[in-house]
Amino acid sequence: MKHLRHKFFWLCSLGLVLLFGGSHAVIAQDADSSSAQTPVPAAILAQLFPGQTITPDQIPQYRSIQIDLNGDKQKEWVVVYNPNPTAKKEAPKRKGCLCPKPTPQGDAKTLAMIKQVTEALSKHEDYLYQIKIEGKKRKTLHLWYQLQTKPPIKETDLSFQMVRTLGSKLGRWKRWNLNDIVFVNVDNNNTYKINAWRIKKIASAPPRKRQSFFDRWYKQTGETDIPLCPCPKVKPKRIAHKPLEIIVAAEIPSPPAAKTEPKPDAPKEDDAPAAPTGPKIEVIGRLQADNIELRPLNSEGSLIALQCENNLKLGTMRKQEQSFHTYDPINKKLNNILTLTTSKEGEESDAAGRQWAQFRFQNMDADAWLELIVDHYYETPNFNGLLGRTMYKFHNGTYQPLNQARGILSITTSSTWDRVAPKGNDAEKARLAMRSRPQNLADGFRDTIWVANKSPRGIGEWVRLQFIKSRRLLGVAISAQIPSQLKHVADEYFPGGEQSAPRLVPPSYLRITTAESARYEIALQDGRPYTFFRFPNPVDTSFLRIEILQEYRDPQGRTQRLTLPEKENSLGFLGEVVPVFDEVLYTASSFQSQGAETYEPQNAGDSRDITAWGEGRLDDGIGEWLQFLLPMPQELNAVSITNGCRRPGERYILNNRVKQARLTFSDGSSQTVTLKDTDAKQVVTFRNVKTSSVRLSILSVYKGKLGHLTCLTEFLPGR
């Protein structure tokens, strides 16, 4: 089945970059290779910022690019204003105490220890002033630090962070014989002392107890007399960096200028200043972001999204968000189609760990839209790696999670294996359990799996896929291969080490149960990515229940049974479950939406004359396309088409109808056809072709008497 085969390819793009100090905007070449950064004309600035005086030295803070955001051959303006002044290049200076950092002193062993401490505290190097080691048998570590640096931090917060970092390293430094650690504030000569054993205790304690342990043991002392730095303390100026302002505008077509001849007696005004001339524009939307990039959302590059990156600070937690916006030319606005959290870290985050995600756009099926693939990562002192993946599909103008696009409401299981971490608290283990969660069954990837919490092999365990509504199914495709790209957590992180970890064993036999209590037993095929089971007859069901069996009765009535070794330590799993619905799916290059009245692609397959698909361009829609995807490849020699729009209250003649069109099949072949200008059903025939999809691209239209909307009421496979 072609729509189940993953077709991976990287979207190659070459960026044109608008630089604003530390911020930038990237324009992918796939979007429009002729686009280039340009200074913003004075006439455009006057319309975007009316009543404001922009001096010549402020002009470099404005950049713009003209690019076609929605494929209508009309370029929109994307203007980016950087309110932050351009930083002057100066020699780097130490903040706080302006004296140079002292050179580490001591014998080779002491210098080696100072080097290791410096590397361990590299995250805080801007605050560290000097590191000293004193003592012979029982050593004392002196950490001199200063707080007059950027970003500002509280004295206790900095000490607490360094205590946690050092505590995780002290076990490896046993040979150094560290006894005490003294923290010295260079700015005010405050001195604090804490025992090395207590530092290790703080680092290994649960997160909820670390702060109380630290407050109890971190006490100020006057033991050490530290000479203050004689250099004058210069408090650096804090510069608040403001986000970029992004303004999207469309040009207003100007009427043709009337030809006028100058009067011979008219006085000349050579000295009068000329008013700025340029196109008139209409503001579509305004956004704020720390960075902006332009991303093509389909393989043709005709639809471009504005990707805005924002870094948020919520108390001690930092979060990075990516939001994607598209241009709706009909309603003259920007639509937020998806918001992702790509980074999250800080004391208030889950298990004091750092979470981040990397995403990419790929074309993974017969549709022209690019799927958004998000890889989720997690980092704690006990774990650092990939948790799982999420796929988003572009559907009806927005990105939806794959399970939602497939119509799956929820996934429940009899059990889930969650013994995934040798150390850590409950929050950390809950995160790591994402590697074996039930949601992996519908994420679009065979190498992310659900694992049953029963040995041996999960015999008798089950999963249940609940659909949003009752659906008609042709069959179901199931994958159960041991992951190759992702080494599963059972192999590496099981308590007791890898030798005691249970083996992952794919199931051999399954039982599928529907809402009507119909049961079907299947044997999984070894060596194949998917095993497809087709029901004897299409079934209507609201859920699928899949159970792992030890015994199986084949179609000839013979019983086959697994022989399990005695006391086998093994776990059963499933990789992916893909319901194949007896439905034709529709997608389009664009569609028009006006409030409650929409011309969505699926209207062309609902067999109702009162609904229709209408392309979403402001012109006649030449080049726009409508496509249906079959549940399984089949032989076709005809499609049925009802031309134009037949909604109540609208006359067929008001809107455009398709005249010439190109039919493109999944094997790459195509045929040009001419449709009749009639609102009756017409059958278009062609040579026999085995295909999983048919795309109708508009080449020409019969002009309507009102507007430019081109419609199709029905577009169905067969006669």
pLDDT 10s digits, 576-605:
999 999 999 998 888 887 666 788 888 888
In a domain, 21, yes or no: no
State how beta strands 503-505 and 570-574 pair.
parallel
Whether residues 564 and 603 fall in one domain: no
Q: What is the pLDDT of residue 626?
A: 92
Q: Using the 8-state DSSP alphabet, how is residue 38 labeled?
A: B
Q: Is the confidence at residue 218, as pLDDT, over 50?
A: yes
Q: Where are the beta strands (DSSP E) in 644-681?
A: 656-665, 670-674
Q: Which of 530, 558, 581 is the last residue of a domain?
A: 581
221 versus 269: which is more confidently predicted?
221
Say whether pLDDT at 285 is over 50.
yes
DSSP state of 562: -
pLDDT at 20: 36
Structure tokens at 716: 């169905």
Is residue 229 a part of any domain in this protein? yes
Supply the pLDDT for residue 22: 40
Question: Is 224 inside a domain boundary?
Answer: yes
407-444 pLDDT, tens digit each = 999 999 999 988 766 566 777 777 888 888 899 999 98
For 593, the domain range is: 585-717
At 65, the pLDDT band (50, 70, 90 cuts) reads confident
* pLDDT tens, residue by residue, 293-310: 999 998 888 889 999 999
Separation between Cα atoms, residue 580 and residue 545, nearest integer Å: 15
Q: Which pLDDT does position 92 carry in this prediction?
A: 43
The pTM for the full model equals 0.71
Summarised one tens digit per residue, pLDDT across range 683-698 is 999 989 999 999 999 9
Matching residue, tokens 């040798």? 422
Angle (nearest 5°) at CA 423 between 419 and 426: 65
What pLDDT, on a 0 to 100 scale, did the predictor assign at position 258? 55
Measured in whole angstroms, the distance separating CA 107 from the mean position of its chain's CA atoms is 52
Closest C-alpha to 291, from 263, 264, 318, 323 = 323
Q: If pLDDT is split at 50, 70 and 90, which confidence band does 229 have?
A: low
Q: Is residue 540 domain-shared with residue 591, that is, in the same domain? A: no
Q: Pairing relation of β-strands 280-289 and 450-451?
A: unpaired
Query: Does residue 501 share a domain with residue 614?
Result: no
Say if 442 falls within a structural domain: yes
Does a structural domain hold residue 383?
A: no
Cβ 582 vs Cβ 476: under 8 Å: no
Q: Are residues 600 and 502 in the same domain?
A: no
At 668, is the pLDDT very low, low, confident or very high (cuts 50, 70, 90)?
A: confident
Q: pLDDT averaged over the chain?
A: 79
Domain assignment of residue 418, yes or no: no
Residue 530: which CATH number?
2.60.120.260
Number of separate domains in the chain: 3
* Strand 585-588 to 625-643 pairing: antiparallel
* Cβ neighbours for 38, distance < 8 A, ≥ 6 positions apart: 63, 64, 65, 66
Domain final residue, candidates 529, 557, 581: 581
272 vs 453, residue with greater confidence: 453
Tell me if 299 is assigned to some domain: no
pLDDT category at 7 given cuts 50, 70, 90 is: very low
Question: Of 607, 589, 610, nearest to 598 (Cα)?
Answer: 610
Does residue 611 share a domain with residue 548? no
pLDDT-above-70 percentage for the chain: 80
pLDDT over 90 at 610, yes or no: no
Tokens matching residue 536: 């004897």
Please check whether residues 599 and 699 belong to one and the same domain: yes
The reply to whether 590 and 514 lie within a common domain is: no
Co-location of 175 and 199 in the same domain: yes
| Single-letter code of the amino acid located at 718 | G
Average pLDDT over residues 464-483: 92
**Which of 581, 598, 620 is a domain's end point?**
581
Neighbours of 204 (CB within 10 A): 13
Q: Tell whether 637 and 613 lie within a shared domain.
A: yes
pLDDT of residue 95: 42
Q: Is residue 703 part of a domain?
A: yes
Please calculate the CA angle 33-285-322 and round it to the nearest 5 degrees: 70
- Quote the tokens at residue 395: 């559907």
Residue 523's CB is within 10 A of a number of other CB atoms, namely 16
Tell me the C-alpha distance between 321 and 180, whole Å.
42
- 124 burial (CB, 10 Å; 0-12 / 13-18 / 19+) is middle
pLDDT of residue 44: 81
pLDDT tens per residue, range 474-519: 999 999 988 875 556 666 556 666 667 788 889 999 999 999 999 9
Domain match, 572 and 594 both: no
Q: Are 577 and 632 within one domain?
A: no
Task: Mark whether 545 and 650 lie in a shared domain.
Answer: no
69 in Cβ contact with 281 (< 8 Å): no
